[in-house]
Chain A
Amino acid sequence: AQTVTQSQPEMSVQEAETVTLSCTYDTSESDYYLFWYKQPPSRQMILVIRQEAYKQQNATENRFSVNFQKAAKSFSLKISDSQLGDAAMYFCAYRSGGQTGANNLFFGTGTRLTVIP
């Protein structure tokens, strides 16, 4: 079974600084996808960034980038130039890439990010 581990329950960062959130996962599959979701206090889960396992290049979305280490099964999220609006719960998630089955998401327990003005 797939498991996703986020070892940092809470993190804080000064506004405009950079922070890295950690995520490791365990799987025996070779085809899968990894995601970072953000859940602000309003509770809606919002996709931040996604990474296909077959791609060696790390995904980037504006101020958000990932460090995907497939052999180490590590998938960290880097937030540059942190803004007050980045404060939220961040979830790392895994999804099988198979063509059959639910392909549902397996989530970590989350990291609560606080941005200090």
Chain B
Amino acid sequence: DTGVSQDPRHKITKRGQNVTFRCDPISEHNRLYWYRQTLGQGPEFLTYFQNEAQLEKSRLLSDRFSAERPKGSFSTLEIQRTEQGDSAMYLCASSKSWITGNTIYFGEGSWLTVV
């Protein structure tokens, strides 16, 4: 199976600590997205990359959040000085960009609990 993979699947951290999530997209997909999903809500867009370039960031992405995709393949999402409000599922997704309306495929998500 060569779907979108995310690591770790679950992370419990103390408030104030830094956490990093990794996403490996489907290999031929050059667009990569990060979404956040809280309980009882639909996913909300955070940011996206086309190849290695981060082209758009949501207002939800505070200064404590940083995402990278250094070689246009895998991506990392780091949250610094975590707060309890950061507790959520962080979803990574990928798609091709040269076909308009192409499907976005999601990973299984990384669940963050800040205590």
Contacts and interface: CB of A to CB of B under 8 A. Distances in A.
Interface of A: 4, 33, 35, 37, 42-47, 50, 52, 91, 93, 95, 97-99, 101-110
Nearest to A43: B109
Given A98-B100, A105-B45, 6 more contacts: A43-B108, A43-B111, A45-B91, A95-B101, A97-B101, A103-B101
B106 A44 contact: yes
A109 B45 contact: no
Contacts of A37: 106
Interface of B: 33, 35, 40-45, 48, 55-56, 89, 91, 93, 100-101, 103-109, 111
10 closest A-B pairs by beta carbon, nearest first, are A107-B42, A45-B106, A104-B45, A44-B108, A33-B101, A102-B56, A102-B48, A91-B42, A43-B109, A107-B43
Nearest to B105: A47
Contacts of B43: 45, 91, 105, 107
B42 A108 contact: yes
Contact of B33 (A50, A104, A109): A104
Nearest to B48: A102
A32 to B, nearest CB: 8
